[in-house]
Structure formats: structure tokens, C-alpha cells
């Protein structure tokens, strides 16, 4: 009973510190420091030595080196006309579908997610063109904003996903397998969004105004050529990984070089673009690495305090079925998503939740996809949904209106999570097919 109370007090301490509004990194370190001092009576010098060692190992592994590189790729493309090329190319190809140019949000985000790895960068890059274009053509404001908010989360699921890299490092799972596992669930969500847009547009054609212009064969060829830069980058990055020529980290380095060459060929690589993209990647990478360092310290503190074991024992005592456990964890992640971003949710919850999931018999690769899907929800739930803030700044609408527009896509994402939970082979098929395990 005393051990359970210790775990409860430690978790309460974490909630209070992290809910106070201080930096997540500082909150995790403070919670670990106070917890070890109060509950285990470890001398301060020894705690300091533990924290330094764990911070170094948590943020200094070779696998993490791909994070700043993938971020630099996204930052480079964000500062070019890639989004404009995507819009022009996709608008020709998708204009005949019910919902017309609304599908550009979904397809554009899916393609850009495959070269950026970031949800916020995906929303900002695609949205800087589509928001104004769809508004000027009198498309439904709610569907325009909502589809962009929902599809922008593909940056967390479709490889090269930063959250999947972090999960792979923390859970000690293959990043290549996780990348493969994220492809079909990401396409499933894209299909659900597009299907919803088609149904809504068929019921109310006024949501997506018709056009009278005719397209000829050569215009379709030109539209495909506009997509070539992004498609080349996707093939270079993912192709180098799954051909066995490069590890994810090496592929990220190749992707950066390819992005630099491409922006140079397109005559958009200036010193300002180069330095701004480098500084943007540096800033975001420092944030991610600080969270990983804090998470490593917190995981050690939790292990010494037996928090995961105590929670696992308590939940095991409830005699939940595996699917009941996932429902409980799903609700838990949705609640966390109201207050934390996806990366913070991942690094904070994994030491507690992963042992429970493994004990229930779920595959750790599958759980990585489940966790990423739940962190996607955090991107579009107020009050801390980053995608909502980006769209609020772009559109000038209130955060409430943006959240309302995103709500149907929140429900579609929940439905997608249910599907991959009932049919886990959606996530596991490609890793099993490629790696045979």
C-alpha cells in the first residue's frame, strides 16, 4: 500500500508541476529531483550524477541525429514554392472528384508529410496557399479549415515522422519498421477524410463550387510534373532506407543534400533561406532533444520509484480485457492531448503505458502507431492544439471556430484508431512483408 501511495504522490507531483505552465523539460526534471529526494532519500550529489548521465544518454544516441536533419528538410521546403507547386499540380488531378479542391488539403498534406516529418510544418506549408485559394473560390470555410487541420496531422504518422523516431528510440524498436507501419494507417486516414469530403459535397454541392474550365491531356502532364520535386525527395529518402542503402539517419542526411540541390536548381536557395531554415531546424531540434533528455531522467526516477510496476499491478487488478485496456488508454491519451503536445505525451507516458500494452499481448510496433494516432488528436484539440493555433493565425478566426471546424475530422481520426485496433495488420502488414517478422 505504501508503494502505491508513493507512485500516486509522484504522479500528482508531475501533474501539478506540468500543469503549472512551466517548461515541460523543467517540469520533468523537477518532478524527478523532488521525487527521488522525498521518497527515496537519495543524496543530492548522487541524484545530480544520475541526472547528468541519463540526460546525456537520452539525448545523445545516434538514432536521434536524424531528427534535426529531417527538420531541416522540412524547413527548407517550407521556405520555397513547394506548396504552390503542390496546389497547382493536385488541383488539376483532383478537380473532378466530389469536393474538388478540398481534396488538395488532404493529398497535399499527405505528400508534404512524407518529406517533413512535422505536423505543424505540414499545416503551415500547405495552408499558406490553400486557405486563401479556397476562400477566394467560395468553398465551405468549415470544410476548408477542418480538412487542413485534420490532414496536417499526417506529419506525425506518415514517415519520416519525428514522433515515430522518438518512440523507436525510447521503446528500443526499429525505426525502419515503424516508418513502414505508419504508411497504411496514414493512407487510411487520408481515405477517410476524402470520403467524408465527397459525401458532404454530394449531399450539399454548394460546399464545393463547380468549375467550367476544361482540362486537356497536356495540362494533366504538366500538373504531374509540378509534383515531381516532392515525389523525388520521397523516393530518395524512403527508397534509400528500404533498399538497404542507408539507415534512417543516413537517409535524412541524403534528404537534406537532395533538398539543397533541388532548391538550388529551382533558383530559390539564397543565404537568407539557408540560414533561416538552419536556425529553424536548430531551434526545434533543441526543443525535442531537451524533452528526450528530461524524459530519460523521468523514466529513471519512475523506475527507481517502481511507478510503472505499481500502476501495472493496479490496472491488472481491474482484470481488463486487452481491448478494454486500449479504450482506457485511449481516453487517457485524449485527456492528455487537451494539455500537451504529441512529443511531450510520448516521452511522458511511454514508461507507464508500454509495459501495460506488452503485458496485454499487443505488438510494440503496432502500439507505436496507436500512440502516434492518439498524439495526432492532440494537434487538433483545444486549448493546446498546435494545428489550431497555426490555422487561427492564418485565417483570423477564433480558436473556437477553428476547433469546431476540426471536430468532424477528430471523430474520423478516432474512427481510424478503432479500425487499426480491431485490424492491427493494417499497421503490421508492411513490416512483416518487408522484414519477415
- Average pLDDT over every residue of 274-287: 83
Mean pLDDT for all residues in the chain: 81
Separation CA 128–CA 276 (nearest Å): 18
d(CA 378, CA 429): 26
Distance linking the first and last C-alpha atoms of the chain? 41
Q: Give the model's confidence band at 409: pLDDT under 50 very low, under 70 low, under 90 confident, else very high.
A: very high
Q: So what's the pLDDT on residue 416?
A: 93
Cell numbers at residue 58, please?
537520452
Average pLDDT over residues 321-332: 88
- Burial class of 26 by CB neighbour count within 10 A (0 to 12, 13 to 18, 19+): middle
pLDDT tens per residue across span 365-388? 999 999 999 888 888 887 667 788
Residue 214: per-residue pLDDT: 64
Torsion of CA 111, 248, 287, 78, to 10 degrees: -30
Three-state DSSP at 117 gives coil
In a 10 Å sphere around its CB, with 0-12 CB exposed, 13-18 middle and 19+ buried, how is residue 221 labelled?
A: exposed
Q: Which of 111-120, 150-159, 196-205, 368-377 has the lowest mean pLDDT?
A: 111-120
Average of per-residue pLDDT across 64-68: 75
When pLDDT is cut at 50, 70 and 90, the band that residue 118 belongs to is confident
142-179: burial string, b at 16+ Cβ within 10 Å, e else: bbbbbbbbbbbbbbbbbbbbbbbbbbbbbbebbbbbbb
Find the angle CA(204)-CA(209)-CA(214) to the nearest 5 degrees.
130
Q: How far is CA 137 from the centre of its chain?
A: 30
Cell numbers for 77: 521546403
- The alpha-helical segments, DSSP class H, found in 162-213 are 162-171, 175-203
- Which pLDDT belongs to residue 377? 86
Q: Is 312's pLDDT higher than 70?
A: no
User: In the predicted model, is pLDDT for residue 394 greater than 80?
Assistant: no
pLDDT over 90 at 340, yes or no: no
pTM of this structure:
0.80
For the segment 225-243, the average pLDDT, to the nearest whole number, is 82
Any idea how long the chain is? 437
* Listed residue (320, 429, 431, 341) closest to 384, CA to CA: 341
Q: How confident is residue 339, by pLDDT bands cut at 50, 70 and 90?
A: low
HSE-up of 162 (CA within 13 Å, CB side)? 34
> Among 146-155, 168-177, 301-310, whose mean pLDDT is lowest?
301-310
Dihedral, CA of residue 194, residue 90, residue 108 and residue 88, to nearest 10: -140
- Residue carrying the nine cell digits 519498421: 177
- Whether residue 272 is predicted with pLDDT greater than 60 in this model: the reply is yes
How far is C-alpha 296 from the geometric centre of its chain's CA atoms? 20
Higher per-residue pLDDT: 93 or 412: 412
Residue whose entry in the numeric block shows the C-alpha cell 487517457: 332
Q: Give me the mean pLDDT over the 96-100 stretch.
A: 81
Asked if residue 159 has pLDDT above 80, the reply is yes
List, in order, residues 6 or more apart from 52 with CB less than 8 Å away: none
pLDDT bracket for residue 345 (50, 70, 90): confident
pLDDT average, residue stretch 42-51? 79
Query: Which is nearest to 302 in space by CA: 32, 48, 53, 87?
Result: 32
What single DSSP character describes residue 384? S
Q: For residues 246 and 415, what is the distance between their CA atoms, to the nearest angstrom? A: 35
pLDDT at 211 over 70: no
Amino acid at each position: 500500500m505504501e508503494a502505491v501511495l508513493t507512485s500516486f504522490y509522484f504522479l500528482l507531483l508531475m501533474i501539478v508541476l506540468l500543469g503549472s505552465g512551466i517548461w515541460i523539460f523543467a517540469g520533468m526534471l523537477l518532478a524527478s529531483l523532488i521525487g527521488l529526494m522525498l521518497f527515496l532519500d537519495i543524496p543530492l550529489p548522487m541524484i545530480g550524477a544520475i541526472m547528468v548521465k541519463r540526460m546525456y544518454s537520452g539525448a545523445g544516441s545516434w538514432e536521434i541525429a536524424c531528427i534535426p536533419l529531417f527538420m531541416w528538410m522540412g524547413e527548407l521546403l517550407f521556405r520555397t514554392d513547394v506548396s504552390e507547386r503542390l496546389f497547382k499540380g493536385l488541383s488539376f488531378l483532383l478537380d473532378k472528384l466530389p469536393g474538388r479542391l478540398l481534396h488538395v488539403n488532404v493529398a497535399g498534406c499527405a505528400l508534404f508529410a512524407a518529406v517533413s516529418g512535422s505536423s505543424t510544418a505540414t499545416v503551415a506549408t500547405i495552408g499558406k496557399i490553400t486557405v486563401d485559394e479556397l476562400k477566394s473560390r467560395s468553398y465551405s470555410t468549415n470544410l476548408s479549415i477542418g480538412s487542413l487541420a485534420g490532414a496536417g496531422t499526417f506529419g506525425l504518422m506518415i514517415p519520416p515522422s519525428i514522433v515515430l523516431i522518438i518512440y523507436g528510440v525510447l521503446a528500443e524498436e526499429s525505426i525502419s519498421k515503424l516508418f513502414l507501419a505508419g504508411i497504411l494507417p496514414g493512407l487510411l486516414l487520408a481515405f477517410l477524410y476524402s470520403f467524408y469530403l465527397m459525401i458532404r459535397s454530394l449531399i450539399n454541392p454548394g460546399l464545393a463550387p463547380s468549375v467550367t474550365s476544361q482540362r486537356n491531356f497536356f495540362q494533366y502532364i504538366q500538373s504531374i510534373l509540378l509534383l515531381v520535386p516532392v515525389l523525388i525527395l520521397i523516393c530518395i529518402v524512403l527508397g534509400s532506407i528500404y533498399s538497404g542503402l542507408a539507415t534512417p539517419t543516413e537517409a535524412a542526411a541524403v534528404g537534406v543534400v537532395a533538398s539543397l540541390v533541388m532548391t538550388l536548381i529551382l533558383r530559390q536557395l539564397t543565404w537568407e533561406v539557408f540560414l533561416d531554415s538552419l536556425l529553424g531546424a536548430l531551434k526545434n531540434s533543441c526543443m525535442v532533444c531537451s524533452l528526450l533528455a528530461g524524459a530519460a531522467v523521468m523514466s529513471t526516477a519512475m523506475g527507481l520509484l517502481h511507478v510503472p510496476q505499481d500502476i501495472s499491478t493496479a490496472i491488472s487488478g481491474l482484470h481488463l480485457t486487452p481491448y478494454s485496456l486500449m479504450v482506457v488508454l485511449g481516453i487517457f491519451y485524449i485527456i492528455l492531448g487537451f494539455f500537451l503536445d504529441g512529443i511531450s505525451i510520448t516521452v511522458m507516458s511511454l514508461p507507464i503505458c508500454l509495459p501495460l500494452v506488452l503485458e496485454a499481448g499487443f505488438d510494440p510496433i503496432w502500439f507505436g502507431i496507436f500512440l502516434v494516432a492518439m498524439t495526432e488528436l492532440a494537434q487538433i484539440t483545444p486549448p493546446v492544439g498546435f494545428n489550431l493555433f497555426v490555422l487561427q493565425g492564418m485565417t483570423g478566426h477564433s480558436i473556437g471556430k477553428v476547433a469546431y471546424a476540426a471536430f468532424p475530422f477528430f471523430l474520423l481520426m478516432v474512427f481510424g484508431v478503432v479500425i487499426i485496433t480491431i485490424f492491427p495488420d493494417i499497421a503490421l502488414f508492411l513490416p512483416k512483408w518487408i522484414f519477415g517478422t
